[in-house]
Amino acid sequence: MQHLISSYGYLAIFVLMVAESACIPVPSELIMTLGGALAAGAVPGTSLNLVGVIVAGTAGNVVGSYLAWAAGRFGGPAAVRRWGGWLRVGDRELDRATGWFVRYGPRAVLIGRLLPVVRTFISLPAGIARMDGVRFGLYTTIGCVPWTTALAVAGYLAGAHWESVVSGLRLPTLIVAAATLMTAAAVAVSGIIGWVGLLIPHAARLLVGPDFGRLLPLAMLLGAAFLLGVDTLCRTIATIEVPPGVLTALIGTPFFLWLFALARRTW
């Protein structure tokens, strides 16, 4: 890959990023980091510009994403099932992804573009869910720019040691991907539950002060107890099950206003 990018420059970056975004397993971490290193002069004789590397990578990302989106939109689930073995996408994953996009739409594309692994395959279910093409392109571009820029800048700063950046990204990539899948599954099952991150840490801090040795364990215990109590109430206060996010919002909103009023007294 180093020889390819060194020889063909921006064109090679563009084509490789098209392939990566079209569900072909070519790591963008390697492409963009190497491009940034070449822009820093890591290989004598190359004359790439950092801005040009970012533009080529982003453009390739958008074009490849549109190819995958079009395959999902016009080929439909039948095409994915036909080629699912090669793409490692089965019927179960396809049904879940389609349902997720029907429910969350544009937000799924925007957030997914910032996440390793997920970003490679997110266009396919977006097309199957028949997401609007203009909105898809807009959210894809917004999500791609930070990713390609961060990788290219990291390679530029590392220079000849760019391979150490790629190696350092492997474990975090796997951790982020696993955390993303677990979070997406939890949200798909229970819906969005907000305000917990505001309520619990502040409540624990009011009880034990800023000492993290006591604050963190107490916040964990309070958070678990709070969600268990909310879930129990949601199942018992009405004849139908109330989403937990509704109850946490009803509790969290006045708590936030109280904190705001308390803070103003110390201004």
Looking at the structure, tell me whether residues 29 and 137 fall in a common domain. Answer: yes
pLDDT confidence band for 185 (50 / 70 / 90): low
Nearest of 116, 106, 103, 87 to residue 28 by alpha carbon? 116
Looking at the structure, tell me whether residues 182 and 205 fall in a common domain. Answer: no
If one counts the domains in the chain, the total is 2
| Chain position carrying tokens 């820093």 | 40
> Which range in 106-120, 206-220, 252-266 is most confidently predicted, on average pLDDT?
206-220
Looking at the structure, tell me whether residues 219 and 175 fall in a common domain. Answer: no
- Percentage of residues of the chain with pLDDT beyond 70: 67
Looking at the structure, tell me whether residues 117 and 223 fall in a common domain. Answer: no
**Dist CA 89 CA 81 (whole Å):** 8
More confident residue, 47 or 10: 10
Is residue 14's pLDDT more than 90? Answer: yes
Looking at the structure, tell me whether residues 159 and 217 fall in a common domain. Answer: no
Examine the fold and report which residue of 165, 190, 215 is the final residue of a domain before the chain moves on: 190
pLDDT confidence band for 102 (50 / 70 / 90): low
Is residue 261's pLDDT more than 60? Answer: yes
Nearest of 243, 266, 137, 121 to residue 194 by alpha carbon? 243
Looking at the structure, tell me whether residues 253 and 143 fall in a common domain. Answer: no
More confident residue, 126 or 176: 126
More confident residue, 42 or 266: 42
Return the minimum-mean-pLDDT range out of 55-59, 121-125, 258-262. 258-262
Looking at the structure, tell me whether residues 75 and 139 fall in a common domain. Answer: yes
Distance of CA 77 to the CA centre of its chain: 23
200-245 confidence digits (pLDDT tens): 888 888 888 878 788 888 888 888 888 888 888 877 877 776 777 7
Tokens of 156: 């530029």
**Dist CA 109 CA 125 (whole Å):** 10
- Average pLDDT over the chain, rounded to whole? 75
**The pLDDT value given to residue 54:** 92
**Domain carrying residue 45:** 2-190
Looking at the structure, tell me whether residues 164 and 250 fall in a common domain. Answer: no
Examine the fold and report which residue of 143, 164, 190 is the final residue of a domain before the chain moves on: 190
Q: Are 159 and 41 contacting, i.e. CB atoms less than 8 angstroms apart?
A: yes
Looking at the structure, tell me whether residues 134 and 217 fall in a common domain. Answer: no
Tokens of 26: 């070519």
Looking at the structure, tell me whether residues 8 and 129 fall in a common domain. Answer: yes
If you average pLDDT over residues 253-265, what whole number do you get?
A: 72
**The pLDDT value given to residue 79:** 62
More confident residue, 176 or 160: 160
Is residue 76's pLDDT more than 80? Answer: no
**The pLDDT value given to residue 27:** 78
pLDDT confidence band for 55 (50 / 70 / 90): very high
Is residue 115's pLDDT more than 70? Answer: no
Extract the runs of DSSP E, i.e. beta strands, from 215-264.
Answer: none
Looking at the structure, tell me whether residues 249 and 180 fall in a common domain. Answer: no
